[in-house]
Amino acid sequence: MKQASDVILSTEGLGKSFDGLRANNAIDFTLRKNRVHALIGPNGAGKTTFVSMLIGRLAPTDGAIWFDGQNVTEMPAHRRVALGMGYTFQITSVFSRLSCHENVALAARRKAGRGKGEVEAVVADALVRVGLGERADEVAGDLSYGHQRLLEIAMGLASAPRLLILDEPTQGLAESEIAAFKALIRALSAETTILLIEHNMSVVMELADEITVLNFGEILAHGTAAEIHANPAVQAAYLGTETA
């Protein structure tokens, strides 16, 4: 499969079964460069399984994954990170006993060739961008849940990803913090590609250039925010039940 020059990630016939139960089925998905692409769907739709295959935490049962023209289907997660794929988890994965600075520095050092001075600059910039610049020396475990999510995003930024996958990034954030998050994503979209898995529909509708809807492990719809909002099948399966 040859990717178009404006595509950074794609899947072809991607599927995953667990003991005969089909979690994802025949997913053909395309993610274009320098776009904010949202992945939405009801609980149990298969979003987590799909993303876990993209990042290398789960091996597909069938199908293929391509990242910037390279078949990465069997590539381990750490090699995908080295290629430029960054991600944050739905459950925070910060090192709770380390400071914010130390957490981000660990991520910054993953990129080969960075000297100490460059790492320090990258860490400072990442923390400022997510609004934690004045909390660099605080222990990560002492932060609120929402601030730990922001710290995770800073860790993702520090690895200079070409694709940043954010799983429920606004969970636990206050309204004022969500407003700052939206501004951050707008700024980031000029320099990297973002795949956003999010339940907050106001965030999705405001930020996403494209939206893919999963339901029962398959793609139900794909389009712009306006097209998805007006789609009767999406309304019936998901948006009609959403209050956010």
Handedness of CA 66, 70, 75, 79 (dihedral sign): negative
188-236 pLDDT, tens digit each: 988 899 999 999 999 999 999 999 999 999 999 999 999 999 999 999 9
Q: Say if residue 223 is in the same domain as residue 131.
A: no
User: Above pLDDT 90, what percent of the chain?
Assistant: 75
Among 114, 136, 160, which residue terminates a domain? Answer: 160
Domain boundaries, position 60: 7-84+161-241
Among 116, 131, 160, which residue terminates a domain? Answer: 160
Nearest to 238 by CA among 12, 1, 20, 44: 44
Q: Say if residue 28 is in the same domain as residue 143.
A: no
99-111 pLDDT, tens digit each: 999 999 998 988 7
Give the total number of structural domains in the chain.
Answer: 2
Residue 92 in any domain: the answer is no
Q: Say if residue 152 is in the same domain as residue 208.
A: no
Q: Say if residue 53 is in the same domain as residue 68.
A: yes
Q: Say if residue 79 is in the same domain as residue 171.
A: yes
- pTM of this structure: 0.90
pLDDT < 70 stretches in the chain: 1-3, 89-92, 112, 240-244
Which residues, in sequence order, are bridge partners of residue 27?
14
